[in-house]
Chain A
């Protein structure tokens, strides 16, 4: 009998060892695939139920916070956005159902405490695997964000205000916007419905237009054209141009006209001040293939996107392909005046303004300023970094002077951006939308004070059916002025 008992014993042992083999497969070999399977809600639940840090404005207001939920449900916290639509396109949302976006996504590791700034937890943390949350303090101020929202009112458009030296975004707002609170709900069906409705809304309220929508920049792009032309040696502020009403384009039977059909010319400064199309179209043609790498220097060439610390990040601009001049010369003329094929985000034009104000160096843009611990103690400051070298300090100064003329000269297009006691450098833009019958987009980019630049701004009021005929100098410049005033005189 003993022999058969032993055999049964061996059989049972083999069965149990088979379990160990299978367990090794599931828990080692196949573990990552199972853990990361999208149908496995654990990692999402874990993220969702981890205490999560706050997102705060630079002036100390709560943009996002987690409040504990009573009861035994799957969810231990409710994410709240007290400022709602005002910061929606910066904070984004943190949703168990539809994922996350914005700072919630780009600083997820920081907010959950998984990416620790300082890794000296106390001993119980080590044993429990507990992680301290961390807060993200934005560089944006609620005051300036509110100002941007008030300035736009119910008009469709975007405003981006950045600090010239650091690239810190102080305000970035666009209309229309949305309320992220419903997306943080716990009712899967309700959240899916809300998300679906936001997505099919033709006004695209969830699109952060300031950094994720492309617009032809119009005449504001003449700053880039001027920089490229001066640096390439094809023009200088004092170069004289004939007075013309239109420019014959090679490879095209349609001549390029001035805005409003007028005649203009003179020195480059004069042409810039009145935003003379034929002059800058000609510079575009003179630059030819050399234009493209110089656009890239200023962060506005095809495929260049500012590495903004948001997720999804800023979209890339579009422009003429490198080396395409011989095939498509009119495109380079139109690029010279910021029309098709060029399209950029409002943030990019604010960064060009900041680059000019910063002696030619464009700072790396960022929306977060500090990482703090749960008690508000400073853990890390986002260090300012240069992003691109757009031009030389000398050229930057020459373009600054031209931009000052735009605002200060009596025949300039940006006189409405004047601020008493402060020299403002600016450039207007009035961009054809390419849509038949639609009024143009009204642009204004500026920085101030011109002698020692601190703040740069870009404003766009979108032209769409129903808006009246508008030019950047008339309607967008006052908004740029208001933003600069708000930043300069808090």
Chain B
């Protein structure tokens, strides 16, 4: 590593990562102590496994993206560690599967770093990603391999495991959106049609975008995956706004959202149930509001400092290891734990947006911001849902919830953000390469100036 930035950042990443390993092992020990007053017999095996997984990821970054941001991987590691401890507290069998998924996730992380050497490679295949993304969304609808769980048909059956291809589709579709928006943003920014006081761009340019978005939303509504619909909607609106800097898109998007929400409320009983359980869960505390009420009980029982790991009754909350994992954390680790987790997500999101701001190519900026928005908004949608800030819609809590597809998608997001970050520093360090890059992307030069002003 010749680069001093690389040396410094990788050193920080290793140090922070070791702390993440200690936090995870500490949680594991506490969990064991709650049952009997001995240290877990497999503590060393556990610590070595956690350390080993982290070192694999860290060494991959060292080798494949040495100049990348130092904080994302440790934050992901500690969130993932907390998640594993909580899931294993709730269900030992599930934890064993989760351990395999974490290993697969780390593998996906390394593979992503290996395959995506240059972020612009992705840009080139945007329509391929669109097709694969939509295909992945549609896959669970196919008879035979699709599976319905809790009324939502989102899963693929792969032998004993269930896989949710929609999680991966999110990332793929964000690639398409970012590439398409960067391509068309000049046209999208300058409106040609006037609708009242709003100026809208030519539908010819907006059309494919709206179509892709509408299809993905419809598919999710059809699959009853409200959380993903909401997430997708928000991420799409944010990316459109970032690409064009035009607030009018946000107004239009908000209008579409309100309209869509009203229609969904009229059409679907389960949407009405969710809204009812949000407005007044106590009146339906035994039926549709049951999980919301149980979640509030868990949070209240946890109070400021929690019952202690392994000493609460989070198994009383339905779906405690997936949608409601945050409530389980709230019960056993208290406000201290929940705020710590929120702060970790804030740090993650902060690092992600910083990477996007520092990136020097529009696609990298938009793509990085889109990926970061996925993690931030997904966190808000599920934590807001279980804490009654918004109606409950089931999505996973990134890095923490049980679920392989979600873990893989999130590790891929980290890898892609690190790739963007590494590329930014590398281009800054190699002026010649930067010149070449600028020449190679003449079209994007004016836009950068536009942003700079």
A interface residues (Cβ-Cβ under 8 A, vs B):
1-9, 11-13, 15-20, 22-24, 26-28, 30-35, 37, 39-43, 45-46, 122, 124-125, 127-130
Given B245, B346, B380, B383, which contacts A1 in the complex, CB threshold below 8 Å? Answer: B245
Smallest CB-CB separation from A128: which chain B residue? B33
Alpha-carbon distance between A43 and B379 when the two chains are bound, in angstroms: 30
B binding-site residues for A, Cβ under 8 Å: 30, 33-34, 37, 238, 241-243, 245, 285, 293, 296-304, 307-308, 310-313, 316, 330, 334-335, 338-339, 342, 345-346, 349-350, 353, 356-357, 362, 365-366, 369, 372-373, 376-377, 379-380, 383-384, 387-389, 447, 451-452
6 smallest A-B Cβ distances: which pairs? A34-B300, A12-B376, A9-B353, A27-B335, A124-B37, A40-B297
Given contacts A27-B304, A27-B338, contact A19 B384 (CB under 8 A): yes
Do A27 and B330 touch (CB < 8 A)? yes
Cβ of A39 and Cβ of B285 under 8 Å apart?
yes
- Per the bound structure, the CA–CA distance linking A37 and B285 in Å amounts to 12
Contact A34 B299 (CB under 8 A): yes
Please list 27 pairs of residues, one from A and one from B, whose beta carbons are closer than 8 Å in the complex, sorted by A's number. Answer: A1-B451, A5-B356, A9-B349, A9-B350, A13-B349, A16-B345, A16-B380, A19-B384, A22-B389, A23-B330, A26-B300, A27-B338, A30-B300, A31-B301, A32-B300, A33-B300, A35-B297, A40-B300, A41-B313, A41-B316, A45-B316, A122-B37, A128-B30, A128-B311, A129-B307, A129-B308, A129-B311
Residues of A within 8 A of B379 (CB): 16
How far apart sit A312 and B338, CA to CA, in the bound complex (Å)?
Answer: 41
Interface of B is mostly: helix
A41 CA to B298 CA, complexed, in Å:
10
Sample of 10 further A-B pairs with CB below 8 A, known A5-B356, A5-B369, A8-B369: A1-B447, A1-B451, A6-B353, A13-B346, A16-B345, A18-B389, A20-B339, A37-B300, A42-B301, A124-B33
Distance in angstroms from B120 CB to nearest chain A CB is: 16
The residue of chain B having its C-beta at the shortest distance from the C-beta of A9 within the complex is B353
Q: In the complex, which residues of chain A have a beta carbon less than 8 angstroms from the beta carbon of B298?
A: 42
State the CA gap A1–B453 with chains docked (Å): 10
Contact across chains for B302 and A27 when beta carbons are under 8 A apart: yes
Residues of chain B with a CB closer than 8 A to A16's CB: 342, 345-346, 349, 376, 379-380
CB A233 to nearest CB in B, in angstroms, measures 63
| Residues of chain B lying within 8 A (CB to CB) of residue A124 | 33, 37
Q: Known contacts A12-B377, A34-B297, A37-B297; is A5 also within 8 Å of B335 by CB? A: no
Q: How far is the CA of A5 from the CA of B451 in the complex (A)?
A: 11
**CB < 8 Å neighbour of B296 from A3, A26, A45:** A26
Give the distance to chain B from A244, nearest Cβ to Cβ, in Å. 71
Q: Bound complex: CA of A7 vs CA of B293, how far in Å?
A: 34
Which chain B residues border A19 with CB–CB below 8 Å? 342, 380, 383-384, 387, 389
| Chain A residues in 8 Å Cβ range of B365 | 1-2, 5
A18 to B296, Cβ gap below 8 A?
Answer: no
Which residues in A have their C-beta under 8 angstroms from that of B342? 16, 19-20, 23
CB distance B311 to A12 under 8 Å?
Answer: no
| Bound Cα distance from A13 to B338, whole angstroms | 16
Which residues of chain B are within 8 angstroms of A15 by Cβ–Cβ distance?
376-377, 380, 384
Is the pair A4, B242 in contact by a Cβ cutoff of 8 Å? Answer: yes
Q: Complex: how many Å from CA A45 to CA B311?
A: 11
Q: Which residues of B contact A37 (CB under 8 A)?
A: 297, 300
**What residues of A have a CB within 8 angstroms of the CB of B30 in the complex?**
127-128
Min Cβ gap B194→A in Å is 23
Contact of B338 among A23, A33, A39, A125 (CB under 8 A): A23
Given the known interface contacts A12-B377, A34-B296, A39-B285, the answer about A3 and B303 at a Cβ–Cβ threshold of 8 Å is no
A5 touches B387 (CB 8 A): no
Q: Assuming A15-B377, A128-B311, is B304 touching A5 (CB within 8 A)?
A: no
Among A1, A20, A23, A35, contact of B366 (Cβ-Cβ < 8 Å):
A1
Q: How far is the CA of A39 from the CA of B452 in the complex (A)?
A: 57
The residue in chain A whose Cβ has the minimal distance to the Cβ of B242 is A4
Q: Which residues of chain A come closer than 8 Å to B241, judged between CB atoms?
A: 4, 7-8
Known: A3-B451, A28-B335, A32-B300. A42 touches B316 (CB 8 A): yes
Establish whether residues A42 and B312, one from each chain, have CB atoms under 8 Å apart when the complex forms: yes
Q: Chain B: which residue is nearest A10 at the CB level?
A: B353
| Inter-subunit contact B313/A45 (CB<8 Å) | yes
Q: Which residues of chain B are within 8 angstroms of A45 by Cβ–Cβ distance?
A: 313, 316
**Chain A residues with CB under 8 A of B346:** 13, 16-17
B432 CB to closest chain A CB, in angstroms?
Answer: 25
User: Which residues in A have their C-beta under 8 angstroms from that of B372?
Assistant: 9, 12
Contact A42 B297 (CB under 8 A): yes
Q: Closest Cβ of chain A: how far from B395's Cβ, in Å?
A: 14
A30 to chain B, nearest CB (A): 6
Q: What separation, in Å, do the CA atoms of A324 and B338 have in the docked complex?
A: 64
Known: A12-B373, A128-B34. A1 touches B362 (CB 8 A): yes
Most chain A C-beta atoms within 10 Å of own C-beta, residue among B300, B308, B353: B300
A340 to B80, CA, bound (A): 75
Evaluate contact between A8 and B304: CB separation under 8 angstroms.
no
CA separation between A34 and B366, bound complex, in Å? 43
- List B contacts of A22 (CB < 8 A): 384, 387-389
Give Cα A16 to B299, complex, Å: 17
Chain A residues with CB under 8 Å of B311's CB are 128-129
Contact, CB under 8 Å: A128 / B301: no
* C-alpha spacing A39/B296, complex, angstroms: 11
